[in-house]
């Protein structure tokens, strides 16, 4: 194996060590810590390390056709140590900044969506509801007005007809029976309940 390939492999594996350090910190930041064993957490951990192993092996495969030598592990360890010593604090601060920026952007988008779409739709629906209630109130008022205009002469006519045919006397004679029927119906409803 040529010296340039070995150098390229060491540099890429050192970069993988830095990548692993950053990936571990990112994973730890987003993983919710549990005090006891949990299967879902264990599954996430296994998947995380499986993906990291595949990424490292892919880079190793691209750099020196997948030959595993001692210096490969040494380069990964040196890259990880470099990350821990020099880059970890900067990366964690920048990660927190990116998270805060993402949260602020998400809130901005949701507020913008709320202001541009939800609030106008609510306002239009309230306006339509108010207009609908005004129309219904106007229709009911007109209907009641027409009903009163028609009902007064009709009531007088019915009274005159009732007096002329003496139906009111028959109604007064039959009203006790109507009351008994009404009470019987109420009693039957109470039994059903």
pLDDT of 46 higher than 80: yes
pLDDT of 36 higher than 80: no
pTM above 0.75, yes or no: no
Helices (H), the chain: 3-30, 39-64, 70-82, 88-113, 119-165, 167-192
Cβ atoms of 55 and 16 within 8 Å: the answer is yes
Q: Output b/e per residue, 49-68; b: 16+ Cβ within 10 A.
A: eeebeeebeebbeebbeeee
pLDDT tens-place string over residues 139-158: 999 998 888 888 888 878 87
How do the domains of the chain map onto residue ranges?
Answer: 3-120, 129-190
Question: Which residues have CB under 8 Å from 48's CB, separation 6+?
Answer: 23, 27
Count CB-CB contacts under 10 A for residue 74. 14
Q: What is the CA radius of gyration of the chain?
A: 43
pLDDT tens-place string over residues 70-127: 888 899 999 999 999 999 999 999 999 999 999 999 999 999 999 999 999 999 999 9
The share of the chain scoring above pLDDT 70, in percent, equals: 98
Higher local confidence (pLDDT), 37 or 137? 137
- Tell me how far apart the alpha carbons of residues 65 and 67 are, in angstroms, rounded to a whole number: 6
Residue 49: closest CA among 37, 57, 39? 57
Cβ atoms of 48 and 114 within 8 Å: the answer is no
- Tell me how far apart the alpha carbons of residues 171 and 180 are, in angstroms, rounded to a whole number: 14
Q: What is the pLDDT of residue 21?
A: 93
């Amino acid at each position: 194996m040529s010296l340039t390939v070995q150098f390229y492999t060491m540099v890429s594996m050192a970069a993988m060590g830095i990548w692993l350090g950053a990936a571990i910190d990112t994973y730890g930041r987003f993983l919710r810590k549990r005090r006891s064993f949990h299967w879902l957490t264990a599954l996430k951990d296994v998947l995380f390390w499986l993906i990291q192993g595949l990424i490292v092996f892919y880079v190793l495969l691209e750099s020196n056709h997948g030959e595993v030598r001692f210096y490969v592990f040494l380069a990964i360890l040196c890259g990880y140590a470099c990350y821990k010593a020099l880059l970890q604090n900067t990366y964690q601060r920048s990660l927190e900044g990116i998270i805060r920026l993402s949260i602020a952007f998400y809130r901005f988008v949701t507020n913008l969506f709320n202001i541009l779409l939800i609030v106008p739709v609510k306002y239009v629906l309230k306006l339509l509801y108010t207009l609908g209630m005004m129309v219904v109130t106007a229709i009911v008022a007109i209907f009641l007005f027409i009903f009163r205009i028609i009902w007064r002469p009709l009531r007088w006519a019915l009274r005159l007809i009732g007096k002329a045919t003496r139906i009111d006397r028959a109604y007064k004679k039959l009203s006790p029976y109507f009351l008994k029927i009404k009470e019987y119906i109420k009693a039957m409803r109470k039994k059903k309940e």
